[in-house]
Structure 1
Amino acid sequence: MRSRVWGGTAAVVLGGLLAAGCGGGGNGAADESAGRAVSGDHPVSVTDCMGAKTTFSAAPEKIVTSNASSLELLLRLGAGDQVIGTGFPPGKGTLPGALDTEAQKVKVLSKSVIPKEKLLGSGADLYIDTFANMKMGGGMGDAPTEKEFKAAGIKHVYLKSTACAARSKSPMTDLSAVEADITSLGQVTGTSAKAKELVAGMREKTDAVQKAVGGMAKSARPTYFFFDYDAGTKQPTVVCNRQVANAVITLAGARNVFAGCDGDYKQVGWEDVAAKNPDWIQLGVRDRGSAAANKKAFDEAEKWLRSNAATKGLTAVKKGRFLRIGSEQTTIAGVENADTVEEIAKKLHPDKVG
């Protein structure tokens, strides 16, 4: 079962001051090798879900990340040398190329949620959470309060595209919130030039797909179900309209069959999935670290759908309309969301997207 905790308390989150997707930090020279802005970016203010500000007078020097997703974003920005530890570390081989090598050098403070005392005593000046209020389990105590973070000299921020998603006033149908997170992280860490480059690369891919399928009528778009295999098969956990995956699916020219539920995730019954009878099913599994291990996991997910009484009669199952695309790049905010949009669109609309 995937470890995933959210909702609850409004906290400081990245991405408040800039328009979504706009590049920042054009005021100073930049180190092209790392994308780091040399001057002109600070002070920088970012906001929480309610609009409260947190200001950085300089780039943080000692960052701790809650999990692999926020760590990956920092590595892609060229801010890896500012990271001193992480929780939920990425498995060996789960990040591409040089990113994997860099990630394996980061100190692991916990293989799950970082214990409160270890986090507060880490020496960090910034802690980045991917999700909203994370409760410490396994006898590790409660999550630090904002007062405790302040006393330890740690600024506490969240990725807005995930932390604020459930309370968003409207469905997530594009990647602007993800782009805003990248832009704001770039400002905070002094890597605005690289952030702008990453966002531009994402936009290039999604704009091309939109040019091909964006004008399709809703009725002409195939229906799509994200099968979260690792969340458990007894009761399916589905992605709702505030989740990043809903944006990915929509941009790719499909209809998320559970786009009618407001929020990020929801547990339903298999009878609910059967009633939707999706045209396509994505076999969402976590990256196991190797092609062989991933294939085995995808095979298991497909076998389960083909053998389960509630799903074996679904249109997508009978016609073998499965997409083998990992969970992380679909449901977790990151640069690869744009790659997933492209991959899904090519599979569903091969006549339109080359």
Structure 2
Amino acid sequence: MRSRLWWGTTAAVLGLLAAGCGSDSGNGDTASDAAAKPASDGYPVTATDCMGAKTTFSEAPEKIVTSNASSLELLLRLGIGDKVIGTGFPPGKGTLPGDLDAQAQKVKVLSQTVIPKEKLLGSGADLYLDTFGAMEGMGGGMEDALTKEEFKAAGIKHVYLKSTACAAMNKSLVTDLSAVENDITSLGQVTGTSAKAKELVMGMKTKVDAVQKAVGGAAENDRPTYFFFDYDAGTKQPMAVCNRQVANAVITLAGARNVFSDCDGDFKQVGWEDVIAKNPDWIQLGVRNRGSEATNKKAFDEAQKWLETNSATKGLKTVKEGHFLRIGSEQTTIAGAENADTVEEIAKTLYPGKVG
């Protein structure tokens, strides 16, 4: 899994998360907010990891720690931000939409990067929601990777957002958002917020279905080709999104062809000569959210200028014609409810007049 390239993360960590997910069990606390549970209670609930191993919940967790801004945002969208007692890789101020930003800023930051072992185990959490998958190579190295026995001894159940944590392990192409929707549904069941989770998933489906109705029937060869330029991952050697990454699904659902859909995995470093050979019709300027409209515009301007002035890319037809999309990295490469918004945004640009 390498889909966490944002909010304080650097490109140097992209290659560290391809290992498989583990399975952990612990003891949850009794839920105090009955209103947050489905009417039928809904428990016990079982979540699975990348390998299918199970973690069972007899009640909703009350003290949750999130690995990063992605998992934190989902809990905020489910309306249970008050149950989050800490996070790693916190969202920068202004990087989450609407009132989610104010809520996120109230969450205790346990680490600006990966949460240290001792701090996580001593956090008092009954659930650790993990976007990353196995943490070998993260933080202080393999000696800091937590085992399922350590989680269990601390009373912490450990579950994953499989759409990102398991991306590198996928054996099939990722061409739709079903894995993201399944994550949201499962998380709703685990936390007793199934009704809200269903609402989020239905909202995603409505947007994507509308796009598919408008442009989904386009023949493969008639679809414009598309390159996601991850400017913040570095310009010396571009990082391509491959066919196991959620961005591949976002691009495909929007009626485009990811020029690197032939590479298996989630991300892969390529050369600029590879990009030139692909000759994309459109380039997305993938810039991470800086926290304000002005700083984001500056970053997009910088990314565009780099393509327009670099000797390797300035001759591309798409660069000369200014076929750029200014859409943030997070909502494209990080699994979440905003993936559907990105599908819609891309389709509106590529198929003007066809998508409402």
Per-residue deviation, 1:139: 7.1
C-alpha separation between the residues in 2 aligned to 1:213 and 1:196? Answer: 26
- Determine if contact 1:173/1:246 at 8 Å carries over to the other structure: yes
In structure 1, which of residues 10, 14, 17 is the aligned counterpart of residue 21 of structure 2? 10
- For 1:337, the equivalent position in structure 2 comes to 339
C-alpha separation between the residues in 2 aligned to 1:127 and 1:344? Answer: 34
Paired positions, count = 336
Deviations 1:100-154 (A, max 9, x none): 1110000000011111111111111111111221233257951211111111111
- Determine if contact 2:224/2:281 at 8 Å carries over to the other structure: yes
Alignment of structure 1 residues 272-287 onto 2, 5 Å: 272-287=274-289
- For 1:295, the equivalent position in structure 2 comes to 297
Structure 2, unpaired ranges of 5+ = 1-9, 25-33
C-alpha separation between the residues in 1 aligned to 2:20 and 2:49? Answer: 11
Deviations 1:89-109 (A, max 9, x none): 000111111101110000000
- For 2:95, the equivalent position in structure 1 comes to 94
Q: 1:240 to 1:160 in 2, by over 3 A?
A: same
Give the structure-2-normalised TM-score.
0.91
In structure 2, which of residues 182, 188, 191 is the aligned counterpart of residue 180 of structure 1? 182
Structure 1, unpaired ranges of 5+ = 14-29
Aligned to 1:350, the other structure's residue is in SS state coil
Q: 1:138 to 1:147 in 2, by over 3 A?
A: closer
- Determine if contact 1:221/1:253 at 8 Å carries over to the other structure: yes
Deviations 1:8-30 (A, max 9, x none): 133249xxxxxxxxxxxxxxxx8
Name the Cα RMSD after superposition: 1.7
Segments of 4+ moved more than 4 angstroms: 138-141
Deviations 1:261-320 (A, max 9, x none): 010000011111111010000000100000000000000100111111111111210110
Deviating more after overlay: 165-174 vs 70-79: 165-174
Give the structure-1-normalised TM-score.
0.92
Is 1:127 aligned with 2:128? yes
Aligned to 1:289, the other structure's residue is in SS state coil
- For 2:76, the equivalent position in structure 1 comes to 75
Per-residue deviation, 1:39: 4.2
Percent of aligned positions that are identical? 78
Alignment of structure 1 residues 43-122 onto 2, 5 Å: 43-122=44-123
Per-residue deviation, 1:82: 1.2
C-alpha separation between the residues in 1 aligned to 2:167 and 2:242? Answer: 10
Deviations 1:175-231 (A, max 9, x none): 000000000000000000000000000000000000011111000000000000111
C-alpha separation between the residues in 2 aligned to 1:194 and 1:188? Answer: 12
Deviating more after overlay: 51-60 vs 202-211: 51-60
C-alpha separation between the residues in 2 aligned to 1:167 and 1:141? Answer: 23
Per-residue deviation, 1:37: 2.6
C-alpha separation between the residues in 1 aligned to 2:266 and 2:186? Answer: 22
| 2:337 aligned partner, one-letter code | V
Aligned to 2:99, the other structure's residue is in SS state helix
Aligned to 1:281, the other structure's residue is in SS state strand
